[in-house]
Structure 1
């Protein structure tokens, strides 16, 4: 059972109340932002909650048990911290959101109602809508390992065992020019063959995209530098001179693990698992059953 703040509980028993909601967001980079639906800024829990921030709650759904509850906040891009570019760049993705009930006359009287993660974010015109998912939604994710032909480890994690910052598999570079929202001309990464960086990651170290990472589709030597193609378009474009760090990628295939990274002893897939066509094929009398893989 939830225990209310004594002062807030007494206030809620009064005939007239002065309450509002506040949201505290903790972004993936550690930045903490506070917002309130009240018409004046509030300060409590070592956080300044800004008014006129574009945040207000539009819907709430909860169920008994461990079913994931959802909430939604909507608003306009009326504050520098909630810009359309910031949302589009994914700065709010999977952010931690704490929802408070607050007596705005005495902000020290407050109660944490729920903790969420930012889910889907949609934009339309000058406004946005962000889905808030309770942390119990993680229970609906598949758990454990998957028995597939491709590796189920995350490239560079403990299961993979390969250090992506090994010499020859990462580089720092500089933006020369922006050819489109998915294509960059860069310098400093000339040592990689065409396609070597496919499935890799480019992380900006400076500029207006600093701290953000983007998946690489392909790389190729071009006149004046190296052309980097990204899988998804950039909502904010970098500028010439911006610095970045990129690492080579892995397509999760056993052949890649062996020939590109020499890491096949740590391969976390099952390369001899047959596909559906082979699994449902008919048995014949000509196959040799000597223990060697039937499917390669």
Structure 2
């Protein structure tokens, strides 16, 4: 790659440049697009010319203002499909936009790096908002002091290994309703409600790779009923395999009893509640911050 060569080419007054984009989905799939009339290899990614992708000029600013633009394209079975957009497979995907010398594709300039924002579809085409890296500054950061654990079960702060036997199940769906309610057979070895709050991930079928969260987990006779908080937005049929992981209600008791992981508990179970913060001293009533069943104030 030579940015200097591209700059020299732009200064020549007669240019052969085009635009190219690469999209990296959260599942690892990488797609490349270009508005040139033939495919180009840009930064190691094959950018296809038959997708109908175009983009508005990038609006880039100095300081902490959010860069933004929009990309447009036609829905096609070979590139971006309406089913994938509906299922949310492109939500938050990483985007890189390049200015490329199509006569020498090794000469390019990375003009934009960010993610896909709001995506809308109509009449066989789509429009996607491109959000710059400074968009991340709009998200809340820092730690909140709460009685419950602030870690995500199995992440680097929790450190619990969900691959341990007894904390996950890989089973075939017996019946599905609206991509949200599922029933299973031969699934009675786990306690009822064991999976509530856990991740539900199809590992085969058209919904493979999508993730849902378990809302209700009930055992009725030989049948297990799992209901998610939201539909997976992709069809799941009988016979599809899914992986279901144990859930956590973020309480100190669950962390200690269910997972034996209290050393990594990231909550503050003894923090005073809002009722105590708004109260005032009363003779004969405990006035300390800890919850007690009797005794004087601290």
Partner of 2:98, secondary structure, is: strand
Instruction: List aligned pairs for 1:236-275, cutoff 5 A.
Output: 236-275=234-273
Q: CA RMSD in A?
A: 2.6
Unmatched runs of 5 consecutive residues or more in structure 1: none
Partner residue, 2:36: 38
Which 4+ residue blocks in structure 1 deviate beyond 6 angstroms? Answer: none
Write the distance in 2 (CA, Å) between the matches of 1:77 and 1:98. 20
For residue 277 of structure 1, the aligned residue among 275, 278, 293 is 275
Contact 1:59 1:73 in 2 (8 A): no
Are 1:159 and 2:157 counterparts? yes
Contact 1:220 1:226 in 2 (8 A): yes
Per-residue CA shift, 1:227-262, capped at 9, x if unaligned? Answer: 221111132212222212110111212233234333
Aligned residues: 293
Residue 90 of structure 1: aligned partner:
88
TM-score, normalised on structure 2? 0.87
- Look up the match of 1:108: 106
Q: In structure 2, do the counterparts of structure 1 residues 295 and 8 end up closer, same or farther at CA, with 3 Å as the change threshold? A: farther
Instruction: In structure 2, list runs of 5 or more residues that go unmatched.
Output: 294-298
Contact 2:3–2:109 (CA under 8 A) maintained in structure 1: yes
For normalisation by structure 1, the TM-score amounts to: 0.87
Aligned-residue offset at 1:292: 7.0
**Secondary structure of the structure 2 residue equivalent to 1:61:** coil
Distance across 2 between alignment mates of 1:175 and 1:98: 38
Indicate the residue corresponding to 1:195 in structure 2. Answer: 193
Which secondary structure does the structure 2 equivalent of 1:91 belong to?
Answer: coil
Which of 66, 76, 100 matches 1:78? 76
**Mean CA deviation greater in 71-80 or 212-221:** 71-80
Correspondence 1:222-241 to 2 at 5 A: 222=220, 225-241=223-239
Equivalent pair of 2:271/2:290 in contact (CA under 8 Å): no
